[in-house]
Chain A
Amino acid sequence: MSEPLLEIRDLTVRFGGITALDHVSIDVAPGEIVGLLGPNGAGKTTLFNSISGFQKPDEGRIVLEGQDIQTLLPYERVAAGLGRTFQHVKLFTNLTVRENLLVAQHRHLSSGSLSAMLRLRAWRQDEAEALARAERMLDLIDLRAWEAAYPQALSYGTTRFLELASVLSLNPKVLLLDEPASGIQQKEVEALGPLLRRIRDDSGCSIVLIEHDMSLLLSVSERVYALDFGRVIAEGSPDEITEDPQVLSSYLGRTRRTHATA
């Protein structure tokens, strides 16, 4: 492929005696949707934690757009173009839905504390812009009616969409989604695939997807990596992966499974 957007090379993470990631290498092209599958404990979330900066790897390289981002702190990696969601939805439970989205606009604003306290023009402009952006996001996920509510009042699936909207506010180049379909209803899962593709089509961002829901993963990914015991055991198109014997025995079960086409 042409110059990959995100390059992971020989990434290794050890916790005491356990090797969570063992020389994992992954490439993500610009605008590509890549799926990650593997059983629990295979190291997928550890991989995300390493890429996003919450876990320090023992070996390996992480390169985004040609730049080694390993020295960057998590919030600096966001500035470099990374965005991620978490396995368990992380939202600000002290803040309303609207305020959650306002917080997510942080990157796009620049006014400081002094202009805020003195209510100067820079502050007013920033607030207007933040509000406009947040309201666009609110409409995107159809949560206008709930904007003054707190996340606890929402259904789990809705909070997942809220988290997604927050991450999208960052305008990321690479979006790391950790099990976006877990805990949500079937019809919302079915809507997720087309939504992810539309997000990619509109913004040009790449998406890396960890998912246990096979129909979603295989229907939306253009390439899939299979992990087990911290190692990449297979790589290829969704069709190739479902026929790979290693993948079948470790994860999918012995019979060949068909996946739903989008």
Chain B
Amino acid sequence: MTQQAVEVMKPLELPAVVRRRLTGAELAGLAGLGAIALLPIPFGSFGFFVGQFALIYAILGLSVVVVTGYAGLVSLMTYSFAGIGAMVTGIAMASWGWPFWLALPLAAAATIPVSVIVGVTSVRLKGLYLAIATLTFADALGETFFKWDRATGGLSGWVVSRPHPFRSDASYYVLLLVVAMGLVWMVTGLRSSRVGRAMLAVRTNEREAQALGINVYKTKLTAFLISGALGGIGGSFLALLLKQVTRSAFQSPLVEATSILLVTVVVIGGIDRPLGAFLGAVALVVQQQVFQGARFFFAYFGIYSAALLVLFLLYRPGGLMQVVRLQWRLIQTRPRVGIISTALIIGLNVGLAWLFVRLS
């Protein structure tokens, strides 16, 4: 041990914040993201729709990243929060004539009472209880809030239109890109902060977190609240995307299935990585489009995404980036194995989709 033991207790001088330069790998990654962002262009209107859908899934994925990836809580009502956001946006815009920019924060705020009720009851118990509670509430909300005509606009739902500068497909796509990246920036900021690290600590070892003075209940509740608000924001943009919000998507059984799909999106991205949510969303939404041609879409895509969820959880917790990294290393060290396994992975994904479509 060094002399510095004595100096620990003296008052601190704060150093200036250090700015790093981006590494080569990070620049390449950013370039890759940029390329992905440009993908929809040759596909025209359909391409932009898929792109917008993927970005909204990415935003909803961020909700899962915070509550599950950071705080380690399983929430099965992410899509319910999206539904609340979507419906509140619909009410505000179609029924009260509000502009979108006022409806959006209202949508986020509307999730708070729900997340408070669910959170406060479950946060003092083990994570398992919260998982059960969210499942229960998703179901109950589907039976109440999402059945009331005044909230859902009846069977035909709410019709909303996009605010003026964003009416076209391309412009709405760009808006979503900016919003999604902004939210990724915010969630990343959360990670490198007192609250974010507390969440990670609670997720890793709750006892030790308590022993270090972290209020684990407040931390978990905060994560749940933020996650709910992110869900509401995603739902608000979803309303604009679809231009018409109907309630069936937020009732059982679809609401739980979609919440699970969002978890899969995030797991594919590496459960605690905000950018990973973006990647996972793109991957799954694109695959989903391919499966749309299949006769039993619900079943086939369900099998495919469930298999992905299980396989990634078992073997690649680091997500797609880990897959890419490991395959790259494999190709460099054992080229034949590397190339064959990579071809198999790509082939299986493409082939399965083709197979299911053909089987119809």
Contacts and interface: CB of A to CB of B under 8 A. Distances in A.
Q: Do chains A and B touch in the complex (CB under 8 A)?
A: yes
Interface of A: 52-54, 73-75, 78-79, 83-84, 86, 90-95, 99, 102-107, 109-113, 115-119, 123-133, 136-137, 139-142, 166-168, 170, 191, 194-195, 198-199, 202-203
A116 B6 contact: no
B200 A170 contact: no
Given A130-B194, A136-B4, A202-B5, A95 B208 contact: no
27 contacts: A53-B210, A75-B209, A75-B210, A75-B211, A75-B216, A83-B211, A90-B205, A91-B205, A95-B204, A102-B197, A106-B197, A106-B214, A116-B196, A117-B189, A117-B226, A127-B17, A128-B15, A128-B17, A129-B14, A132-B15, A140-B2, A140-B8, A167-B212, A168-B8, A170-B212, A198-B1, A198-B6
Given A113-B196, A124-B17, 4 more contacts: A78-B210, A118-B189, A136-B4, A139-B2
A106 B193 contact: no
A117 B212 contact: no
Nearest to B5: A198
Interface string B331-357: 000000000000000000000000000
Given A95-B200, A202-B8, A112 B195 contact: yes
Contacts of B190: 113, 116-117
B1 A74 contact: no
Contacts of A107: 212-213
Contact of A142 (B2, B192, B226): B2
A198 B198 CA distance: 30
A111 B9 contact: no
B215 interface: yes
A31 to B, nearest CB: 14
Q: How large is the interface on B (under 10, 10 to 19, 20 to 34, 35 or more residues)?
A: 35 or more
Contact of B212 (A53, A99, A103, A136): A103
Contacts of A191: 1
Interface of B: 1-2, 4-9, 12-17, 186-187, 189-190, 192-198, 200-201, 203-205, 207-216, 222, 226
Given A111-B194, A113-B193, A129-B14, A140 B204 contact: no
A78 B6 contact: no
Contact of A132 (B1, B13, B201, B205): B13
Contacts of B205: 90-93
A117 B198 contact: no
B211 A202 contact: no
Nearest to A169: B212
A116 B212 contact: no
A117 B186 contact: yes
Given A92-B204, A123-B193, A137 B211 contact: no
Contacts of B13: 132
Nearest to B195: A113
The 9 A-B pairs with the shortest beta carbon distances in the complex, nearest first, are: A116-B193, A78-B213, A117-B186, A90-B208, A74-B210, A109-B194, A94-B204, A113-B195, A92-B204
Contacts of B195: 111-113, 116
A140 B6 CA distance: 9
A136 B12 CA distance: 9
Contacts of A53: 210
Nearest to B193: A116
Nearest to A77: B213
Nearest to A198: B5
In this complex, which of B197, B198, B207, B209 has the most chain A Cβ atoms within 10 angstroms of its Cβ?
Answer: B197
Contacts of A198: 1, 5-6
Nearest to B207: A90
Contacts of A109: 194
A109 B2 CA distance: 27
Contacts of A115: 193
A141 B5 CA distance: 9
Nearest to A93: B204
A95 B12 CA distance: 25
A209 B92 CA distance: 62
A126 B193 contact: yes
A92 B208 contact: yes
A186 to B, nearest CB: 16
Contacts of A74: 210-211
A141 B2 CA distance: 8
Contact of A131 (B9, B15, B196): B15
A37 to B, nearest CB: 23
Contacts of B196: 113, 116
B7 A136 contact: yes
B192 A127 contact: yes
